[in-house]
C-alpha cells in the first residue's frame, strides 16, 4: 500500500513538473515570437513599410485601416484615400501594456513623407528621420534609451551626405566628420569621452590624405605627420605628455629615411616608431573608455 502511495506521489510530482515545463516553454515561445515580431516590425522600414502595409489595403478603401496581431492587439493603423496610403500612420509593439507606438509618420501618395519617428517600448524616442517622397532628406537623429542624442546625419535624396556627429550616452560628441556619396570624405575628428581631441585626419578618395594628429587625454599633441594616399610623407613627430619631442623621423612614401632622423637611435627596422604611437593611442583610448564606463555606471 505504501509503495502504491509512493508511486502515485512520484507520478503526481512528475506530471506537475511536465506541466510547469510545458508552461515555461510556451511562455518562452511567446516571448521569442513577440521579440521576432518586434524585430520584423522595425525591419519594415528597411524593406519598405508602405509596400508591407499597402498589400493589405482593400481596393478603393477610404478612411483609417487597421490590422491586428494574431492575439487581436492592434498592429498598425493608417489613413487611406481611395485605396492609397495618404495621411498619418502608426505601428505598435505587441504584448506591451499600455499599448506602445513603435513607428509613427505620414504617407503621401503611397510614400513616406515628412517626419518619421521610431520609439523604444517605454515610449522614449529612438529615431527621428525626415523623409521626402519616400527617401530620407535632411537631418536624421537617433537617441539612446536615456533620451540623450546618439547620432546626427544629413541625407540628400536618400543618400547620407555632409556632416555627421556621434555622441556618447552623456551627449558628449565623440566623433564628427564629412560624408560624400555614403563614404567619409574630408576632415574626420574623434574625441575622448571627456570631449577633448583624440585623433584628427583627412580622407580624400577613400584614402587618408593630409595632416594626421593624435592627442593625449590632457589635450597635448601625441604625434603628427603628413599622409599621402595612406602613406606617411614628411616629418613624423611623437611627443611625450608634456609636449617634448620623443621621436622625429622623415618619411617618404611610407618609408623612413634614417640618415636624416633627428631624435634617438634609429634601428634598421623603423616599425617601432609607428607601433609606439599606435600603442600609445590605444592605451589612452582604453584608459578613457574604462574611466568613462566607471563614471557612467556610477551615475
Higher pLDDT pick, 130 / 233: 130
pTM of the model: 0.75
175 vs 57, higher pLDDT: 175
- Looking at residue 46, its pLDDT comes to 45
Contact predicate 185/195, CB 8 Å: no
CA-based torsion, 157, 160, 163, 166: positive or negative? positive
pLDDT given for residue 86 in this prediction: 92
Once rounded to an integer, what is the mean pLDDT over residues 214-225?
91
Question: Which of left, alpha, beta for 37 (phi over 0: left; psi -120 to 50: alpha)?
Answer: alpha
pLDDT tens-digit profile of 58-80? 888 999 999 888 889 998 899 99
> Would you call 42 helix, strand, or coil by DSSP?
helix
Instruction: Report the pLDDT value the prediction gives residue 168, as an integer from 0 to 100.
Output: 94
Cell numbers found for residue 297: 555606471
Residue 180 within a domain:
no
- Composition of the chain by helix, strand, coil, percent to 5: 30, 45, 30
pLDDT of residue 258: 65
- Of 123, 152, 175, which residue sits at a domain end? 123
CATH number of the domain where residue 70 is located: 2.20.110
Q: Could you give the 3-state DSSP secondary structure of residue 270?
A: coil
Q: Does 299 reside within a domain?
A: yes
Q: What is the pLDDT of residues 222-281, one digit of tens each?
A: 988 888 888 888 888 889 899 888 888 888 887 877 654 444 433 334 455 566 677 777
What pLDDT is recorded for position 51?
Answer: 58
- Mean predicted confidence (pLDDT) in 5-17: 41
Res. 95 pLDDT band, cuts 50 70 90: confident
Q: With respect to residue 63, please indicate whether it lies within any of the assigned structural domains.
A: yes
Say what the pLDDT of residue 252 is. Answer: 85
* Residue 213 dihedral angles phi and psi, to the nearest 5°: -135, 140
Mean of per-residue pLDDT scores for the chain: 79
Is residue 117 located within the same domain as residue 196? no
Task: Give me the number of domains the chain comprises.
Answer: 2
Question: Given 123, 141, 168, which residue is the final one in a domain?
Answer: 123
Q: Are residues 107 and 207 in the same domain?
A: no
Question: What is the reported pLDDT for 292?
Answer: 75
Whole-angstrom CA distances from 240 to 213, 246, 259, 275 are 14, 6, 23, 15
Cell 477610404 -> residue: 62
The rounded percent of the chain whose pLDDT value lies above 70 is 74
Tell me the backbone φ, ψ of residue 131, rounded to 5 degrees. Answer: -120, 150
Indicate whether 149 belongs to any domain: no
Q: Identify whether residues 196 and 289 lie together within a single domain.
A: yes
Question: How many angstroms separate the CA atoms of 129 and 137, rounded?
Answer: 8
The domain of 206 spans 192-299
Task: Identify the helix (H) or strand (E) that includes residue 115.
Answer: strand 114-119
Of the residues 93, 123, 153, which one is the last residue of a structural domain? 123
**pLDDT level of residue 113 (50, 70, 90 thresholds):** very high
Residue pLDDT, tens place only, 139-172 = 999 999 999 999 999 999 999 999 999 999 999 9
Whether 201 and 299 share a structural domain: yes
Mean pLDDT across 90-96 = 88
User: Is 252 inside any structural domain?
Assistant: yes
Q: Which of 133-137, 213-217, 238-242, 250-254 has the lowest mean pLDDT?
A: 250-254
Residue 128 lies in a domain: no
All three cell numbers of 169, joined, read 550616452
| Highest mean predicted confidence (pLDDT) among 52-61, 200-209, 247-256, 290-299 | 200-209
pLDDT the model gives residue 279: 79
Rounded Cα distance, 130 and 137, in Å = 6
Which 3-state string (H, E, C) describes 144-204? CCCCCEEEEEEEECCEECEEEEEECCCCCEEEEEEEECCEEEEEEEEECCCCCEEEEEEEE
Amino acid at each position: 500500500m505504501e509503495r502504491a502511495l509512493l508511486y502515485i506521489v512520484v507520478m503526481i510530482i512528475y506530471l506537475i513538473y511536465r506541466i510547469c515545463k510545458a508552461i515555461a516553454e510556451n511562455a518562452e515561445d511567446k516571448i521569442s515570437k513577440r521579440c521576432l515580431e518586434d524585430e520584423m516590425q522595425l525591419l519594415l522600414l528597411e524593406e519598405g513599410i508602405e509596400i508591407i502595409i499597402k498589400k493589405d489595403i482593400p481596393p478603393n478603401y477610404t478612411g483609417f485601416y487597421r490590422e491586428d496581431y494574431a492575439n487581436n492587439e492592434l498592429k498598425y493603423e493608417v489613413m487611406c484615400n481611395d485605396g492609397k496610403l495618404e495621411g498619418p500612420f502608426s505601428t505598435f509593439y505587441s504584448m506591451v501594456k499600455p499599448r506602445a507606438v513603435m513607428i509613427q509618420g505620414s504617407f503621401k501618395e503611397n510614400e513616406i513623407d515628412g517626419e518619421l519617428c521610431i520609439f523604444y517600448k517605454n515610449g522614449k524616442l529612438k529615431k527621428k528621420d525626415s523623409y521626402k517622397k519616400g527617401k530620407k532628406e535632411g537631418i536624421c537623429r537617433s537617441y539612446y534609451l536615456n533620451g540623450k542624442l546618439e547620432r546626427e546625419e544629413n541625407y540628400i535624396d536618400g543618400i547620407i551626405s555632409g556632416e555627421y556627429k556621434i555622441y556618447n550616452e552623456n551627449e558628449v560628441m565623440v566623433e564628427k566628420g564629412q560624408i560624400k556619396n555614403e563614404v567619409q570624405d574630408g576632415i574626420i575628428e574623434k574625441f575622448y569621452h571627456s570631449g577633448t581631441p583624440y585623433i584628427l585626419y583627412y580622407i580624400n578618395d577613400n584614402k587618408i590624405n593630409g595632416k594626421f594628429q593624435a592627442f593625449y587625454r590632457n589635450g597635448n599633441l601625441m604625434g603628427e605627420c603628413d599622409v599621402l594616399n595612406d602613406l606617411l610623407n614628411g616629418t613624423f613627430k611623437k611627443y611625450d605628455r608634456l609636449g617634448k619631442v620623443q621621436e622625429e623621423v622623415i618619411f617618404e612614401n611610407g618609408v623612413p629615411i634614417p640618415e636624416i632622423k633627428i631624435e634617438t637611435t634609429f634601428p634598421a627596422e623603423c616599425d617601432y616608431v609607428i607601433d609606439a604611437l599606435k600603442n600609445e593611442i590605444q592605451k589612452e583610448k582604453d584608459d578613457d573608455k574604462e574611466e568613462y564606463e566607471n563614471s557612467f555606471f556610477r551615475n
